[in-house]
A = this chain, B = another copy of it.
Amino acid sequence: MPVSDRLPTLTVSEAGPPERGDAARNRALLLQAARRLVDQRGAEAVTTDDIAAAAGVGKGTLFRRFGSRAGLMVVLLDEDEKAQQQAILFGPPPLGPGAPPLQRLLAYGRERLKFVDTHHALLSDVNRDPQMRFNAPMTLHHSHIRLLLESAGTSGDLDTQATALLDLLDADYVRHELTDRGRSLADLGDAWDTVARKLCGT
């Protein structure tokens, strides 16, 4: 799964049964509270004080469970990445299996644009690490695009064409287009659609 290499090691299993239950409960409360606050205000506006207060636990508990604010945010992102991957790999068509490859590819582009817009702050953070950029996190997305290009009978170098499509879903690029250039997610979706269709030769 994309970002799990960056997850802080949780010490839940070191504690005896009662503490273990507390730790798991606090972890769940903190994640729920963080998700609610991020949805309401955006990730940038949410502090560890806010999250701990909303979860009804001490700030020290947050740091024990997640190591840092970034550690907690990475877990949130990872949960959402997993949910999206489930939808891509096993969910209903056209995003999931069952639709023709080009239709799946176009559905993927629009879904992923929404995802990177919603998760911009965290993805941008992960992106800035050059190790992350070309390794585990994006491999699944690259493979998915490449496989759909291949299934659609795309000619030429598939790795490069998958990279071109994936780069247009980069969180910083999408944010730049939306905020600095006044484009909409629908515009970007249409443009991605055009590139994908041309590469597939339709």
- A interface residues with partner B (beta carbon < 8 Å): 128, 130, 133-134, 155-157, 159-161, 163-165, 167-168, 170, 172-173, 176, 180, 187-188, 190-192, 194-195, 198-199, 201
Contact = CB atoms under 8 A, between A and B. Distances in A.
A195 B134 contact: no
A43 to B, nearest CB: 17
Given A133-B172, A167-B168, 10 more contacts: A130-B172, A156-B194, A157-B194, A160-B191, A160-B192, A160-B195, A164-B165, A164-B167, A198-B198, A198-B199
Nearest to A198: B198
A1 B183 CA distance: 27
A172 B163 CA distance: 13
A34 B172 CA distance: 34
Contact of A155 (B130, B165, B176, B194): B194
Contact of A168 (B163, B176, B180, B199): B163
A198 B133 contact: no
A180 B128 contact: no
B130 A195 contact: no
Contacts of A155: 194
